[in-house]
A and B are shown apart, each in its own frame.
Chain A
Amino acid sequence: MTGDRLNPPYGILLDRAKPVRFSFEGGNYSGFIGDTIASALAANDVWLISRSFKYHRPRGILSMTGDDGNCLVQIGPEPNVPADRRPISHGLRVTGQHYKGSLRRDRSKWIEWFARFLPVGFYYHAFFKPRGAWDFWEKRIRAAAGLGHIGQVARKNTFDKNYAFADVAVVGGGGAGVAAAIAAARAGGRVILIERQPLLGGSLNHARFDAAGRRGVETAKALAEEMEALDDKITVMSDAVCTGLFADNFLAVTSGERLTKLRAESVVLATGLIEQPAVFANNDLPGVMLGSAAQKLLWLYAVRPGRRAVVIASNSDGYGVALDLDDAGIAVEAVVDLRYTIAGDSLIREALDRGIRIIHGYAIERAVPNTGGSHVAGLDLRLRPGQDSGPPETRRLDCDLICVSIGWAPAAALVAQAGGEVVYDDTRSAFKIAAAPDGIVTAGAVRGEWDLDAAIADGRRAGKHAMAGGHKDSAVEDPAVTPESNPWPIFDSDKGKAFIDFDEDLTPQDIEHSVAEGFDDIELVKRYSTVGMGPSQGRYSATNAVRLTRILTNEPLSGAKGWTNRPPTVPEKFGLLAGRRFEPRRLTPMHHHHEAAGAGMMVAGDWLRPVCYGADENAAVQQEVTAVRQNVGMIDVSTLGGLDIRGPDAAEFLNRMYTSAYSTQPVGRGRYALMCDVSGTIIDDGVACRFADDHFYVTTTTGGSDTVFRSMLWWNAQWRLDIDTTNVTGAFASVNIAGPRSRDLLAPLCPDIDLSPEAFPYMAVRQGDVANIPARILRVGFVGELGYEIHVPAGCGAALWERLTVAGHSFEMRPFGVEAQRVLRLEKGHIIVGQDTDGLTHPDEACMTWAISKRKPFFVGGRAVEMHRRRGVARILVGFTLPAATQILPEECHLVVRGQEIIGRVTSIARSITLGHPIGLAYVAPDQAEPGVEFTIKGPGGRLIRATVSALPFYDPQNRRQSA
């Protein structure tokens, strides 16, 4: 059974050929594709859907918009799903939330018995005395608070984003919105029309505009035909919500699991109206709903909202609801019209003609609950003061459905977010949009245009105006016919709780208490009482809360503003904001070879680099270090930065950017390049290779290339030297062959380059072919052995690695990774900028005065370096050793101490296989910097470790091996 359904034309959203089975609270139900959870449950006569936040009262359908908190359910790990919006699907398992025991018999409903002890803001006054009370109460309150539960096991979901552009974005696909889209498209614009429902039409699909009940359908059909002719100019986003309207007409639109960032030249907001509830005792019972909710159940889902109905009306819409109920075979017990005077119109006359009873002159006493209190069973009325005697003082109307049609509020959240002005107009007894910003045009019912034809015409006007730029147009007239709303739909009663905010279980007394406590502005009332802070964000409470607050503070209603409106207009999942994870990762051209060789990879800036080759890191590193020291090894150094500096002023430029002198550097030679910033702090290092008088190729650290490049561009924008700087980091793949046998390995691959020490000495640079690949070759010695760094076009990097690997077979060459390289360079006493230097290290502290030219008039940071020198150093970077038997080594950043004083820190540490004992670098006091001096490191667990200063380099102090 898919529930008791009306026949077509009711149920326009349903696909009756596709029944669906789902469960709710363990019970099995059926519906159709197109049903929401709430509509399918209603069809199966299930009206209790949730429990309220504070008092655990039974709740059900209120609005059928998905915007109120009365229909929130749990689906698996996802809490707070609006049942009146989420479609059912086959096998869907739904449960209620926020109850103990069962939804039907919630053991927590006893809380309501203590309501008088839990007034608004009670938690500000209680639970913190005596001392320790809060510790007791906090966990209990936390356990009771919140709705639903979040699954702790995160499941991967696919969220997406895209960008869209339009001349005109129209938000709201009702009559006015569709008319606006058509007009804008006819004026030549690209239009995107955003509609929350699965189909266009808005209230045309369910509201009654005329006695015969045909105008809505006919108007929707006519507009659809107009749209079809403009199919290629209008993009319809249905099932889509505009969650925010930001500066420069930037709209966030969510649909399913996609967030669209939409940029529009102009925006038309045709977002319509929000029907408002009345405040009377037990107005939250299941079966008490807005009139439009009942109409949606009928027309969209073919569901009878009840069997016997009372309509509470303050406008002719209520009569439209009554006629719709009557047409659907639902007994209409009465229309209770709250107005003092009633103007006849076609809907009222039709109701009278059908014999529908109209009761006038009564106020609402309460909704009467059934036995068990889970559904409405009747409506009690009381005669208004001043009425003629004769009618009974009180009346009871038996019913299982109360439809409330007492007024409207404009859906103006987006206007407010965009900076528009929304104020209370007491001639309309509702909020109205007083002003919209430039570029935003309001249309239709949201602007107050109530007559259907006028609303459609207003939409057309708005579309054309938007295409003309949407500038503020003072010539636009106020609507002639505006929606009618009850000016005070709040009824005192001691017969039960009357809710002004369903989400937060707030009554008018809570607002009164807030004002009595001194919170005399709506913004303060909101924060103290939490009115409007629930899932509906004030859609069904703001108007009454503002009315009440203004009356209580003796302020005029006219011109009153609500609280500040902020995005999102509906809840947004964090996944939508995150979208797909775009995390660019740079890989060298040899990456797949490293993976194939079993390398573990590490993140180095934007890159991945091999740590070592082998599962046992310690063993692999030791073997790789030994291979380099005794034989030959190969490391991928493609991640190092590379910059081509070309032009007549290239040498002068390097003179200014780096600390050394480059003007006299011969062609064919490399020179160490140390870079400081304006404060004299070391920020990068590399090698400057001169390939021609006007061409330098400068390397940088892996993480420094972008910073150095930017710095070079910035400085030369001021100096205007005749150079070109090109960042060629990604354009070259580089390999370092290092070890005593590196020359032997390389020579056969370089037939046109003389690798002899005389022809190619240490720190020389050459260009030629290596393994038939054009290359730049640098003879550098970062690891302290004979070595050649080969730079080839990146597209040839993989081929170079393969050919070197083949050539290396007969030499038993090993690839080595970053960890082995760290040990090797440490043995040679080379610093790593950023590890052995920090944000303050200047060259004198790092014992690098040798890298500073004494004859240059200027380099970046030179003045500051000089000032540091005059001031003297407070710390010095030194090498140190530990006894070979040391079991537990200090780690990087462990402190160097002297008594209670912190002197410095360890920057590098490693067990040296080559030397047979641990070595490291550390900052110590100047009086501790001589070789042989001992100092103290506070190691793991606070253990004090004695270290001995050592001269650098530890390995091959005569540099014979790297200069071989």
Chain B
Amino acid sequence: MTDPTRFSRRSFVHPRLVQHGAIFRNIGQVSVADTFPGRNGLATRLALIDLSPMPRLGLKGGGALDALREAGIPVPPINNMARRLSDGALIARLANTEALILPDIELIGDTIGLVEAVPIVSGCYPAPRRDSHAWFVLCGTKAVACLQKLCGVDLSPQEFADLRIAQTSVARLSTILIREDRADIPAFHLLADSASALYFWDVLCDAMDEYFGAPTGHAALCELNTRPPVKPAG
């Protein structure tokens, strides 16, 4: 177990993680809540994971998407679509002039480094998404039902398939909502105002309660990544 306060960077919900009894682990230069006592089997049912300390980056401007292509990063063909990259990272095309890049959750890949190296020129500017937005993952077979208490977008798989993006309101917060199913288990990246992170976390925990969901650690998400596809339980 490591002490996350030794790092300059802290999760936006650090007080809640401590309250829930999180056990932290260093991954590269960040410390994440890795496990919670007694909760690590929840990821298939309903779990909330905080990935806020992890790097991520936005690029904005008329030339942003071209700059990404030139850096060798395949950009989704239409807005509000995401794409999995070969190193496990995710590129989310938010608009004709904006993209968001989320790293692989084990921080092994080099996509973030590639994007950070994109030169800042007229029409292509970095956006500080690591600090402007908190990053949570809500996953599990009950994830859709839970989110439907907070969000008016139809998140059923028929209408909101894997890798779809909605930039919408969740519990009255402007949120970037990206579906990235893992082993056939529904999973949603939720990125919203970092200053409202504690409010958002508390609202999500409250909404999960009905379905016996709870905060879970980074390790559970990693484990979900390695599972073979299974038919989700009802």
Contact = CB atoms under 8 A, between A and B. Distances in A.
A578 to B, nearest CB: 13
A795 B171 contact: no
Which 3 interchain pairs have the tightest Cβ spacing? Answer: A586-B195, A731-B132, A731-B131
A795 B130 contact: yes
A773 interface: yes
A558 to B, nearest CB: 44
Interface string B137-178: 000000001001111111010110000000000011100000
B12 A794 contact: yes
A835 interface: no
B194 A730 contact: yes
Contact of A794 (B5, B60, B131, B158): B131
A648 interface: yes
- From A162, A732, A794, name the one whose CB has the most chain B CB atoms within 10 angstroms: A794
Nearest to B200: A584
Contact of A798 (B10, B130, B152, B198): B10
A647 B123 CA distance: 7
A682 B169 CA distance: 32
A731 B196 contact: no
Contacts of B10: 589, 795-796, 798-799
Interface in A568-625: 580, 582-589, 591-592, 606-607
A165 interface: yes
A87 interface: no
Interface of A: 160-165, 190, 261, 263, 580, 582-589, 591-592, 606-607, 638, 644, 646-648, 694, 722, 724, 726-732, 772-773, 793-796, 798-800, 802
Contact of B152 (A163, A586, A591, A793): A163
Given A584-B173, A726-B125, A162 B195 contact: no
Given A161-B149, A584-B199, 9 more contacts: A160-B149, A163-B149, A584-B193, A591-B198, A646-B120, A731-B131, A794-B194, A796-B10, A799-B5
B53 interface: yes
27 contacts: A160-B149, A162-B149, A163-B148, A163-B152, A163-B154, A261-B152, A584-B172, A585-B196, A587-B196, A587-B198, A589-B10, A694-B122, A722-B123, A724-B60, A724-B61, A726-B127, A730-B131, A730-B195, A731-B194, A732-B131, A794-B131, A794-B195, A795-B9, A795-B10, A795-B12, A795-B53, A796-B10
B14 interface: yes
Interface residues of B, number: 46
B136 to A, nearest CB: 14
A739 B143 CA distance: 51
A638 B131 CA distance: 13
A423 B91 CA distance: 58
A343 B128 CA distance: 82
B15 interface: yes
Select the residue from A587, A592, A694 with max chain B CB neighbours within 10 A: A587
A449 B122 CA distance: 70
Would you call the interface of chain A mostly helix, strand, loop, or mixed? mixed
A160 B14 CA distance: 28
B71 interface: no
A728 B129 CA distance: 9
B226 interface: no
Interface in B1-27: 5, 7-12, 14-15
A732 B145 CA distance: 34
A730 B134 CA distance: 10
Contact of B148 (A162, A587, A648, A799): A162
A798 B14 contact: yes
Given A646-B125, A728-B132, A730-B131, A163 B151 contact: yes
B40 interface: no
Interface string B106-126: 000000000000001011010
B80 interface: no
B95 interface: no
B125 A724 contact: yes
A796 B8 contact: yes
A807 to B, nearest CB: 15
